[in-house]
Amino acid sequence: MQDTIIKNAVEYINELFGGNSDGHDALHTLRVYKNMKLIAQSYPEADLFIMSLSALLHDADDHKLFKTENNANARFFLAKNDVPEESIEQICEIINGVSFSKNRGKTPETLEGKIVQDADRLDAIGARGIARTFAYGGKVGRSLDDSVQHFYDKLLLLKDEMNTDAAKEIAKARHEYMEGFLKEYYEESRWD
Ligand code: NI
């Protein structure tokens, strides 16, 4: 039953995100789901079903992509799949705690919320984080040097903002990779 709902959620987000490819696409969601499962291995007491649906639906009502209110897309899916009302509220609360811009400096109260937030943040850093930063910068007309500012505004801060030790460990390697990239970028950018 739970496995079927999770399978349905994967299908639902594939439909929902369709052709979007600016980094907030179905594959981002699937990587967050994968990161969550990786972190969750260290926390068997956390509710895997709740975290799975929260991770899979965490961008289903992202305001940059959808004009929905009150987690309408997530709620539509969950109700259609007969997820109990209490669980729906739990999942929506976790989803609403994940967004970086809305929750700067705020920590989710539940372990499940902490893990899903970490899983999302992990996908913003490392090699993929670098690729996403320049892809997004290009889309909004930023120069390469202006895009680099995003590392200092957000990406390099995320390592210390991970809630769980398991995520901190994964973040450490990805952080070092970004620092190495920046060092090389500046070195090659010199013209004198
Ligand atoms: Ni996300």
CA distances from 144 to 101, 125, 187, 191 (A): 22, 17, 15, 16
- Give the H or E element holding residue 21: none
pLDDT digits (tens, 9 = 90+) for 94-110: 999 987 566 666 789 99
In angstroms, the CA 161 to CA 45 distance is: 22
Q: 55: CA distance to ligand 1 center in Å?
A: 8
Confidence of residue 23 (pLDDT cuts 50, 70, 90): low
Q: 115: CA distance to ligand 1 center in Å?
A: 13
107 or 185, which is more confident: 185
Q: 102: CA distance to ligand 1 center in Å?
A: 12
> pTM for this structure?
0.88
Q: 62: CA distance to ligand 1 center in Å?
A: 8
Is residue 118 within 8 Å of residue 162, measured between CB atoms? yes
Q: Which CATH architecture has domain 2-189?
A: Orthogonal Bundle (1.10)
pLDDT digits (tens, 9 = 90+) for 52-85: 999 999 999 988 888 999 999 999 999 999 999 9
55, exposed or middle or buried, with CB in 10 Å at 0-12, 13-18, 19+?
Answer: buried
Q: 144: CA distance to ligand 1 center in Å?
A: 23
Q: 15: CA distance to ligand 1 center in Å?
A: 17
Q: 188: CA distance to ligand 1 center in Å?
A: 32
Is residue 58 within 8 Å of residue 102, measured between CB atoms? no
What would the mean pLDDT of 128-145 be, rounded to a whole number? 93
| Spans of all domains in the chain | 2-189
- Token output for 68: 């929905």
Mean pLDDT of the chain: 93
pLDDT at 106: 78
In angstroms, the CA 145 to CA 167 distance is: 29
